[in-house]
């Protein structure tokens, strides 16, 4: 909608409102009108027809606070005429200072006037109850103060968080809201789990939305996971309504030191666009523009921040730490039971050990009877039943299958569980009483006839008042197994399976295939190897012939054999027929580095057509040159 | 994809959880002295999850407590097939055989040695040894320079393979074992009752016999004394089935 249309709409509404002023009405109601001292009631003033809101005069003995105000417009059109009506409702919170009857005088606005109201305030109970009040009572609900539970003996009760931070006054709430962190105390021990309440208050007078969960930062604490569905309520602070999101969770102190908790909550608010003040527009125009601006407000991402008071985390004392202390911090009680209590040797018994209380249940552990040679024990099943939503209070139950190994046992031994009590600042140990049990263990009976009734076994319990064991119905047996172990679908041996037998052929096939491949590969390499061997043999023969010619002082044959040897070497290296290699090939492939070889080739050609005479030393030098060339080419 | 993963995880986890619960129930019934219930529960566990030595052992115990020694012997024998050298099973088998009045079996040393693991265990060991032997032989052809080590490896593998085959051969004698489960068993001379109803011999309930062959609803069985006869299939249960 552009500015021109806003102005036209505002003009129409202004004209309509001006026309309605003449028919203005003011209505005032108070509900309830009979209350007790200490209670509050609500005064509602409704103005219609365009009149301005009347002022409520101060009344001795009554504290009157303005609450919410709402204005509504409606347009009615039948095609030929159009009418506009407006209605403004203001609520006030009225709290009497003393008992008695109070009169709220008639409220006047323009030409309209309300009726006078009477409020009766009783000295004690008997008036209207809080529950009878309007649901949007303006008084802030009284802050629930739940005392810490005295950690003495008896049933364990979870101490709820106590508000160590008072309800934030209006000036601390910021423009849009605030975050409150409610903790039961300020001093913790390392490993201690404590309930925490996180309240995010956002003004209901601002259009807002929540983008994410609160973000927690602290060096000394970790926070449990926050639920995506917190409790949502409306609370009033200094008469202003706030939407309150409350998370009930728990945090754990992870290391000693002084820390604070910091919580940030991202929210989105819609900021109304305000019309600038100025003398060129009148108040009605500004009101209309602001109303339209509010409808078109700008979204803004902001973060609410909350910081707790300084918290201290103390290390767990080393003095007096029990050997079986597993890190449990809190207040716990333990009890144990066994079922059945009348058994034969070797029969399984379920030992149940329950630890109830509040604290860090993740550190509540027990070895139960493991290590007791009188009992065969198995790994215990663990179960935790939380009494709250955060796992702070509840019961952890261990169920361990145990088997008595001899008939002299009369009781399941007592069990100990140690923990650190942060209230008493000392370690404590819960000890359960022994559980009487009757174990029947008879010596092996002589073999009776098949299916004959078996002899009863003697009762071996030595307790003063032992429960009677049931009659044994058979000979002594090795004890039952608790765990099923590995299973097979059939008792038939696997080697009778055709698939298994066929599988055994695979390694053999692979071996034979591999060997065949190797054989083929080697035969493919054989010709090359044979050629190499023949070339080396020929070279050796030519060198021997060189030596013989050198010994006979025959330079011509010497160079011919030298050339032949070099041809063999180059022929192998260049993959050419040796006799086809000429000086031209030497020049092309060796260039300047083939000068000596070229000379040998030329000397050999010269020796074929003329006598060639060289001294013995020269032949010796040429031999070294040729041998060196052969070796060089071999590389 | 995530749903498929969860479904597969459930298919893996649920049977395990179900097995644990059923065995717990069976043991609970046993501990409470409800041996018939325990027997039914153990059989249910076996039917649901397959054979396992511990469950067969527990089943045997429940039969002993009911005085049903032939079935107990059968259960212990089956447990021994899976865990041949388990001392607890052997002890309870001896106890059941004593109670049943049948011969208490003595295990030869060779059978004890073969019982170091189950027949299936030996089969897999032999399979592994055979595979490694082939690998050694192939590598020896590839790297002749290391043929000494590889030859030694091949010899070890061959030795293990022969051991496994021998152990399987020894243990496989139990494939023909069967336990007399009828209270009034009778081995006939002929599998044709109408033609010849003369009793060959009368085995004791719980006795272990060897099955020679089958003919219709009859099995030709023999005992250690060399006696043979035909027994109706309902009177005798093979250990391995």
Per residue, the 3-state secondary structure of A424-460, as one string, reads CCEEEEEECCCEECEEECCCCCCCCCCCCCCCCCCEC
Distance from CA of B17 to the nearest CA of A (A): 12
Indicate if B159 and B225 belong to the same structural domain. Answer: no
In this predicted model, what pLDDT tens digit does every residue of A208-241 receive, in sequence order? Answer: 888 788 988 888 898 888 888 888 888 888 778 8
Cβ-proximal residues to A283 (8 Å cutoff; 6+ apart), any chain: none
Distance from CA of B192 to the nearest CA of A (A): 30
Indicate if B12 and B91 belong to the same structural domain. Answer: yes
Distance from CA of B217 to the nearest CA of A (A): 21
Indicate if B81 and B150 belong to the same structural domain. Answer: no
User: What CATH code is carried by the domain that includes residue B71?
Assistant: 1.25.40.10
- Report the distance separating Cα A39 and Cα A37, nearest Å: 6
Q: Which residues of B43-71 are buried (b: 16+ CB within 10 A; e: fewer)?
A: eebbeebbbbbbbbbbbbbbbbbbbbbbb
**Global confidence as pTM:** 0.43
In this predicted model, what pLDDT tens digit does every residue of A11-45 receive, in sequence order? Answer: 555 544 444 444 678 888 888 888 887 778 888 88
Q: Name the token pair of B9.
A: 């995880």
Residues of A in contact with B240 (CB under 8 A): 491-493
The whole domain housing B160 covers 113-173
- Largest Cα span, chain A: 157
Cβ-proximal residues to A129 (8 Å cutoff; 6+ apart), any chain: A39
**Inter-chain residue contact A477 with B95, CB threshold 8 Å:** yes
Q: What is the mean pLDDT of residues B26-46?
A: 88
Q: Pick the more confident residue, A539 or A3.
A: A539
Indicate if B121 and B80 belong to the same structural domain. Answer: no
Total domains in chain B come to: 3
**Inter-chain residue contact A450 with B124, CB threshold 8 Å:** no
Q: Which of residues 410-469 of A touch B (CB under 8 A)?
A: 444, 447-454
Which of A32-41, A506-515, B224-233 tops mean pLDDT?
A506-515
| Rounded (10°) angle between helices B35-49 and B2-31 | 160
Q: Which of B173, B197, B224 is the last residue of a domain?
A: B173
Task: Tell whether B226 is within 8 A of chain A (Cβ).
Answer: no
pLDDT at res. A534: 83
Residue A505 has pLDDT above 70, yes or no: yes
Find the closest chain A residue to B92 by CA distance. A477
Residues of A in contact with B68 (CB under 8 A): 451
| DSSP letter, residue B101 | T
**Inter-chain residue contact B95 with A486, CB threshold 8 Å:** no
| DSSP letter, residue A107 | P
Whether ipTM > 0.90 holds is: no
Distance from CA of B118 to the nearest CA of A (A): 9
- Give the whole-number percent of chain A exceeding pLDDT 70: 76
The answer to whether the beta carbons of residues A139 and A40 sit under 8 Å apart is yes
Q: Which of B58, B90, B106 is the last residue of a domain?
A: B106
Residue B153 has pLDDT above 90, yes or no: yes
Indicate if B99 and B188 belong to the same structural domain. Answer: no
Residue B28 binned pLDDT confidence (cut-offs 50, 70, 90): confident
Distance of CA B77 to the CA centre of its chain: 6
Q: Name the token pair of A627.
A: 């041998």
Residues of A in contact with B58 (CB under 8 A): 480-481
Task: Tell whether A498 is within 8 A of chain B (Cβ).
Answer: no
Indicate if B138 and B60 belong to the same structural domain. Answer: no
Burial class (CB in 10 A: 0-12, 13-18, 19+), A76: exposed
Q: Name the token pair of A263.
A: 């919580």
In this predicted model, what pLDDT tens digit does every residue of A268-296 receive, in sequence order? Answer: 888 766 555 555 556 666 666 566 655 66
Pick from A587-601, B9-23, B98-112, B135-149: least confident: B9-23
Mutation to test the A interface, candidates B18, B25, B65, most A Cβ within 10 Å: B65
Distance from CA of B62 to the nearest CA of A (A): 9
For residue A32, cis peptide bond before it (omega within 30 degrees of 0)? yes
DSSP assignment of A67-101? EEEEEEEEEEE-SS-EEEEEEEEEEEEEEESSSEE
| Rounded (10°) angle between helices B69-82 and B87-100 | 160
Indicate if B18 and B65 belong to the same structural domain. Answer: yes
Point out the residue among B49, B95, B240 whose CB comes nearest to the CB of A492: B240
Pick from A105-109, A427-431, A617-621, B221-225: least confident: A105-109
Residue A123 binned pLDDT confidence (cut-offs 50, 70, 90): confident
- Report the distance separating Cα A230 and Cα A197, nearest Å: 11
Indicate if B85 and B117 belong to the same structural domain. Answer: no
User: What CATH code is carried by the domain that includes residue B206?
Assistant: 2.30.30.40
Residue A375 binned pLDDT confidence (cut-offs 50, 70, 90): confident
Task: Tell whether B165 is within 8 A of chain A (Cβ).
Answer: no
Point out the residue among A473, A488, A504 whose CB comes nearest to the CB of B82: A488
Indicate if B31 and B96 belong to the same structural domain. Answer: yes
Indicate if B74 and B97 belong to the same structural domain. Answer: yes
- Report the distance separating Cα B77 and Cα B104, nearest Å: 12
Residues of A in contact with B239 (CB under 8 A): 491
Give me the total of CB pairs closer than 8 Å, taking one residue from chain A and one from chain B: 155
Q: In B132-225, which ranges are E strands?
A: 177-180, 187-188, 199-201, 208-215, 218-222
Indicate if B83 and B130 belong to the same structural domain. Answer: no
**Inter-chain residue contact A477 with B20, CB threshold 8 Å:** no
The answer to whether the beta carbons of residues A156 and A393 sit under 8 Å apart is yes
For residue A340, cis peptide bond before it (omega within 30 degrees of 0)? yes
Q: Which of B84, B106, B128 is the last residue of a domain?
A: B106
Indicate if B148 and B191 belong to the same structural domain. Answer: no
The answer to whether the beta carbons of residues A377 and A348 sit under 8 Å apart is no
Q: Which of residues 172-191 of B touch A (CB under 8 A)?
A: 172, 175, 183
Q: What is the mean pLDDT of residues B201-230?
A: 89
């Amino acid at each position: 909608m552009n500015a021109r249309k806003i102005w036209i709409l505002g003009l129409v509404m202004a004209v309509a409102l001006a026309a309605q002023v003449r028919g203005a009405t003011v209505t005032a109601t108070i509900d309830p009108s009979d209350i007790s001292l200490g209670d509050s009631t609500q005064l509602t003033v409704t103005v219609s027809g365009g009149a301005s809101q009347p002022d409520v005069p101060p009344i001795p003995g009554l504290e009157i606070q303005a609450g919410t105000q709402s204005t509504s417009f409606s347009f009615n059109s039948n095609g030929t005429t159009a009418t506009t009506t407006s209605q403004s409702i203001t609520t006030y919170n009225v709290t009497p200072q003393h008992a008695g009857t109070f009169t709220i005088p008639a409220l006047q606005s323009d030409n309209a006037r309300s009726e006078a109201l009477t409020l009766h305030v009783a000295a004690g109970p008997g008036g209207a109850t809080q529950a009878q009040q309007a649901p949007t009572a303006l008084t802030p609900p009284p802050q629930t103060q739940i005392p810490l539970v005295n950690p003495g003996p008896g049933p364990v009760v979870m101490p709820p968080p106590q508000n160590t931070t008072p309800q934030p006054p209006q000036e601390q709430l910021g423009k849009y809201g605030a975050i409150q962190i409610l903790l039961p105390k300020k001093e913790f021990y390392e490993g201690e789990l404590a309930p925490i309440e996180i309240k995010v208050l956002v003004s209901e007078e601002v259009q807002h939305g929540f983008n994410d969960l609160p973000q927690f930062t602290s060096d000394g604490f970790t926070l449990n996971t926050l639920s995506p569905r917190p409790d949502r309520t409306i609370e009033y602070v200094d008469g202003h309504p706030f939407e309150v999101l409350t998370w009930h969770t728990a945090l754990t102190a992870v290391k000693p030191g002084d820390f604070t908790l910091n919580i940030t909550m991202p929210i989105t608010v819609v900021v109304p666009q305000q019309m600038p003040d100025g003398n060129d527009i009148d108040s009605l125009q500004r009101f209309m523009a602001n109303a339209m601006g509010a409808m078109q407000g700008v979204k803004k991402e902001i973060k609410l921040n909350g910081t707790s008071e300084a918290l201290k985390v103390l290390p767990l004392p080393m003095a007096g730490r029990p050997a079986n202390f597993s890190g449990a911090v809190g207040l716990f009680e333990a009890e144990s039971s066994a079922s059945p209590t009348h058994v034969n040797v070797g029969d399984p018994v379920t030992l149940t050990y329950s630890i109830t209380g509040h604290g860090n249940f993740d550190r509540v552990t027990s070895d139960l009877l493991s290590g007791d040679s009188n009992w065969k024990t198995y790994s215990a099943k663990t179960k935790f039943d939380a009494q709250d939503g955060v796992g702070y209070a509840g019961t952890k139950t261990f169920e361990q299958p145990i088997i008595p190994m001899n008939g002299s046992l009369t009781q399941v031994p007592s069990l100990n569980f140690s923990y650190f009590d942060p209230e008493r600042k000392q370690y404590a140990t819960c000890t359960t009483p022994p559980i009487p049990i009757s174990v029947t263990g008879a010596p092996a009976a002589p073999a009776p006839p098949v299916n004959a009734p078996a002899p009863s076994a003697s009762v071996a319990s030595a307790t003063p008042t032992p429960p009677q064991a049931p009659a044994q119905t058979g000979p002594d047996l090795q004890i039952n197994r608790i765990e099923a172990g590995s299973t097979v679908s059939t008792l038939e041996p696997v080697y009778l399976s055709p698939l298994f037998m066929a599988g055994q052929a695979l390694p053999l096939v692979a071996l034979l295939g591999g060997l065949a491949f190797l054989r083929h590969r080697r035969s493919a390499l054989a010709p090359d190897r044979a050629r190499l061997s023949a070339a080396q043999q020929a070279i050796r023969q030519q060198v021997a012939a060189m030596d013989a010619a050198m010994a006979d002082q025959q330079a011509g044959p010497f160079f011919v054999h030298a050339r032949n040897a070099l041809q063999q070497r180059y022929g192998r290296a260049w993959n050419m027929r040796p006799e086809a290699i000429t000086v031209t090939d030497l020049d092309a492939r060796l260039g300047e580095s083939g000068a000596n070889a070229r000379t040998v080739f030329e000397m050999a050609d010269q020796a074929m057509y003329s006598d060639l005479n060289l001294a013995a030393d020269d032949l010796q030098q040429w031999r070294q040159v040729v041998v060196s060339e052969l070796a060089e080419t071999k590389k | 994809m995530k749903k498929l993963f969860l479904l597969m995880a459930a298919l893996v986890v649920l049977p395990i959880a179900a097995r644990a619960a059923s065995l717990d129930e069976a043991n609970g019934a046993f501990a409470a002295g409800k041996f018939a219930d325990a027997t039914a529960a153990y059989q249910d566990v076996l039917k649901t999850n397959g054979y396992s030595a511990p469950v067969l052992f527990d089943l045997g115990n429940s039969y002993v407590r009911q005085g049903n020694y032939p079935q107990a012997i059968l259960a212990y024998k089956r447990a021994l097939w899976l865990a041949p050298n388990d001392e607890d099973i052997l002890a309870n088998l001896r106890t059941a055989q004593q109670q049943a009045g049948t011969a208490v079996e003595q295990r030869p040393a060779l059978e004890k040695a073969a019982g170091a693991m189950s027949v299936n265990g030996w089969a897999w060991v032999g399979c592994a040894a055979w595979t490694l032997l082939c690998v050694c032989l192939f590598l020896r052809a590839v790297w002749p320079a290391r043929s000494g080590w590889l030859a030694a490896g091949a010899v070890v593998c061959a030795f293990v393979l022969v051991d496994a085959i021998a152990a399987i051969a020894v243990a496989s004698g139990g494939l023909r074992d069967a336990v007399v489960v009828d209270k009034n068993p009778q081995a006939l001379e002929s599998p044709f009752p109408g033609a010849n109803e003369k009793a060959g011999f009368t085995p004791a309930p719980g006795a272990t016999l060897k099955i020679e062959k089958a003919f219709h609803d009859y099995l030709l069985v023999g005992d250690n004394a060399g006696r043979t006869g035909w027994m109706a299939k309902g009177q005798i249960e093979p250990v391995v089935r």
